[in-house]
Structure 1
Amino acid sequence: MRRIVVIPDTHIPDHHAPAVSALLGFIEATAPDEVVHTGDLMDYPQPSRWTQGTREQFAGSVKADSKRGRRFLGALRERHDGPVTLIGGNHDTRPHAKLLAAAPELAEGEEFHPRTLLDLDAYGVTYVDGFHPIAPGWVATHGHLDIPLSRIAGRTAGNAAARLRTNVVMGHTHRLGLIPESGGYNGRLTTYWGLEVGHISDIRKANYLKSGAANWQMGFGLLYVDGTHVTPHAVRMSSDGRFAVEGRVWAPTGIRI
């Protein structure tokens, strides 16, 4: 049976360090067959609408933040030698998108594309735009491309699964949930599953949350693949980064990025 670890929004450098440490330790110890990051590996706040007209817009830290992202990829690669896929999220593509919008004549190259900023080829990471066929009957996506959002955890992915008529695993919402959608007639049912894999970012650093809180849940996803049979799991992480999988509790290991 194959196992696929699905990493959600990390928003480096605003990641939740203990949770990232625990997850890297889990990957090292359990040797999954594949690791897929559903996007927003990076935060890149400088080109965002939240920083326009503020001092942060001119912080000039895109390159420094990218270096932290490469440190994460290096730490992951030290612990996992199998396939790694990154699906481009709306935060990952902020620098390149901003350049395309403001100065398209300077954007013909890929200097500010995630592939270049994060040196993905050097780390053997496959970059995907849009949808990635992650397992038989399943696609993975970030979730920002024409998918209506719901505040109910899992419902965004569940609606996408019903609409696309395939099982969907996604990030973007920062919510952790697993919802099935079934339909058919005369007892002949087809069920599509939607899995939202939460986030492992530090909510305290999300300055745009005026109340300092949000309907977000920390966690990640696991897919168990036995031929064409796929079993999805949403793994909850505690505020200290701990989580339980298959009867074992995993804790932060001290790995720093």
Structure 2
Amino acid sequence: MTKRYVVISDTQMPYEDRKALRSVIRFVADYQPDEVVQIGDLMDFPQPSRWSKDTAAEFQGSVFEDAEYAKRNFFSPLRDVYDGPIGVIEGNHDLRPREYLAKYAPALAESGAFTLDVMLDFDGFGARLLPDFYPFSPGWIMTHGHLGKIGLSQIAGNTALNAARRFGSSVIMGHTHRMGIGAHTSGYGGEVGKTLVGMEVGNLMDMRQAGYLKGGTGNWQQGFALVTTEEKTVQPELVFIEGKRFSVDGVLYRL
């Protein structure tokens, strides 16, 4: 049985590239995949978090405003055009509010009110919170990339390949904001024992809003991924967004 996935990562709302995200949702409307997976850092949640501790931002807070923003600008538009399964993996930015609460107000953390699925009303939108390591096909997992002690690389695709070699399973991940595919084959006597694949699926963030870049340009690539599975065969494909456009199967989408 064939299954088709659209995999997106690192929107980091409300700092997403709004035109890019709208175009990808428009593509989902046309493509109608069997599952949409947001592979982590759907949200940025700059405060409250450990980064805003002991600053004015700690007391200003935008967590609920940002959650409402994501409902209006991600889940609602996506559900307007797509009624299939939506899965979300929690990324390192997504967990900031609950991690902050667990550290500085543990008694309140027990309520679960600051978990990603509650704040963004996953139940209401028919979305599900996926495990940190999502085994979507035999020998393959999706994960955000901040867990598992993965060796980071500046070369696109190599971080995911490092993860694949560490886990002994092919890996599709986000986190690096880069797009690339790498593979590693082992065996002996001319016989292939195992081939592992690592793929990084890029980002849909507006880099100009990344204050920590201090006006620079990151080694990031914008885009998303398509994954097709057929029994034990997995075909990963990257879709680069360049020059305010991308193309899939000969169809051009403009931002």
TM bracket (short chain): over 0.9
Residues 58-102 of structure 1, C-alpha deviations (whole Å, 9 max, x = no match): 332110100011121121122211111100011111000000011
Q: Say which SS state the counterpart of residue 101 (structure 2) adopts.
A: helix
Residues 173-217 of structure 1, C-alpha deviations (whole Å, 9 max, x = no match): 101111111111112221111010000000111111124211111
Q: Distance in 2 between matches of 1:211 and 1:53?
A: 25
Moved over 6 A (4+): none
Q: Distance in 1 between matches of 2:152 and 2:59?
A: 31
Calculate the TM-score normalised by the size of structure 2: 0.94
Q: Which residue of 2 aligns with 1:171?
A: 174
Q: Distance in 1 between matches of 2:51 and 2:64?
A: 19
Cα-Cα RMSD: 1.4
Q: Say which SS state the counterpart of residue 97 (structure 2) adopts.
A: helix
Structure 1 contact 50–208 (Cα < 8 Å) conserved: no
Q: Which residue of 1 aligns with 2:237?
A: 233
- Unpaired runs of 5+ residues, structure 2, are none
In the superposition, relative to structure 1, how do residues 3 and 129 fare at CA in structure 2: closer, same or farther (>3 Å)? closer
1:155 alignment partner, one of 152, 155, 158: 158
- Higher RCO, 1 vs 2 (CA within 8 Å, ≥6 residues apart): 1
Structure 1 contact 153–175 (Cα < 8 Å) conserved: yes
Q: Which residue of 2 aligns with 1:109?
A: 111
- Identity value in percent: 45
Structure 1 contact 51–57 (Cα < 8 Å) conserved: yes
Counterpart amino acid of residue 205 in structure 2: S
Question: Which range moves more in the overlay, 206-215 or 86-95?
Answer: 206-215
- Unpaired runs of 5+ residues, structure 1, are 253-257
Calculate the TM-score normalised by the size of structure 1: 0.93
Is 1:8 aligned to 2:9, yes or no? yes
Structure 2 contact 48–58 (Cα < 8 Å) conserved: yes
Is 1:30 aligned to 2:31, yes or no? yes
Q: Which residue of 1 aligns with 2:246?
A: 243
- Kindly state the Cα deviation for residue 5 of structure 1 after the two structures are TM-superposed: 0.4
Structure 2 contact 102–109 (Cα < 8 Å) conserved: yes
Counterpart amino acid of residue 243 in structure 1: F
Pairing 1:53-132 to 2, within 5 Å after superposition: 53-71=54-72, 72-132=74-134
